Amino acid sequence: MKVLFHTSGDDGAAWLDALSRALPEATLVEWPDSTMPPDYALLWRPPPALLASLSEVKAIFNLGAGVDTLVALPERPRKVPLIRLEDAGMAQQMAEYVAHAVLRRYRELDVYALLQEEAVWRPRARLPMHEFQVGILGFGVLGAAVAGTLSAFGFPLRGWSRTQKSVPGVRMFEGPVGLRPFLAETRLLVCLLPLTPDTRGLLDRATLSLLPRGAYVVNVSRGALLVDDDLLALIESGHIDGAMLDVFHDEPLPAPHAFWHHPRITVTPHISAVTQIEDSVMQIAAKIRRLEAGEPVSGVVDDTLLY
């Protein structure tokens, strides 16, 4: 069995080391050194020429949960299954990050930080928790992990998904007709949607205006879901009170961007959930062995949901 590997990142040696230990039965080759057609391809941000050469592989594994950059390339062979990472150590990280963002907002720690700068001792009346509804936009593996963590604190939870789901302890909404009432009940919005043609630019002025006045936005999915200027305008108008953003249209976020220095926006450098190599490799190895045995695997990307 031959496995082709390529990453545009600087962690290729770590990936290959982990793969050689997890898949000792495989011959690992790096593109463009490969001369024989591979059985499987493991890729992160591949060049179009590489994708175009993979029409005969059994499956393409994306070395990350987000497949938006790969599926957008016209060179991707549509008949070859594309398999994304599921969790692989990211759910716990995402739950930690979002829990911090929610608690920081609910307990007004940004306000207290400003008071400290002025040496002002001024306890503030706390909003009752039952009035602080947290809405999770996108309810896959990561959304479920976030909800599980937040439920332990007692926050009233709302969830939105493309299709109908029933989640204990979460008031769920689904489909286009459910988006408006979902947003109307959301005081803090957590965006965990994948980037697709339908979700690109979804968080624009019209959508964000459906949130209650004074709402807060946390984006940990993809920067292209958010219309930057619309968010800034709604913050300036007072409709949105602020945001915590981990993902952006251009990364690294350019130094002149208004987000860097806005007093009501917190910026982090795409660290909410970082791919864990060892966990990811164990998942990929298990799926390759299932495919070799003729068994089905999870995480196969459904193109009908992307186009």
| 222 noted as active-site residue | yes
Cα 170 to Cα 160: distance, rounded to the nearest angstrom: 10
**Which of these is catalytic: 205, 264, 270, 289?**
270
Q: Where are the beta strands (DSSP E) in the chain?
A: 2-7, 27-30, 40-44, 59-62, 82-83, 134-137, 157-161, 170-174, 188-191, 215-219, 240-245, 265-267
Cβ atoms within 10 A of the Cβ of 166, count? 6
Cβ atoms within 10 A of the Cβ of 297, count? 18
> Which residues have C-beta within 8 Å of that of residue 146, sequence separation ≥ 6?
94, 95, 98, 99, 136, 190, 192
Assess contact for 29 and 5: CB atoms under 8 A. Answer: yes
| 104 noted as active-site residue | no
Q: Which residue has the tokens 């941000």?
A: 45
231, with CB counted inside 10 A (0-12, 13-18, 19+), is buried
**Which of these is catalytic: 76, 84, 105, 222?**
222
Nearest-10 crossing angle of helices 141-151, 90-106: 50
The first and second tokens of residue 53, run together, are 């050469």
Cβ atoms within 10 A of the Cβ of 289, count? 15
Residues recognised as catalytic:
222, 270
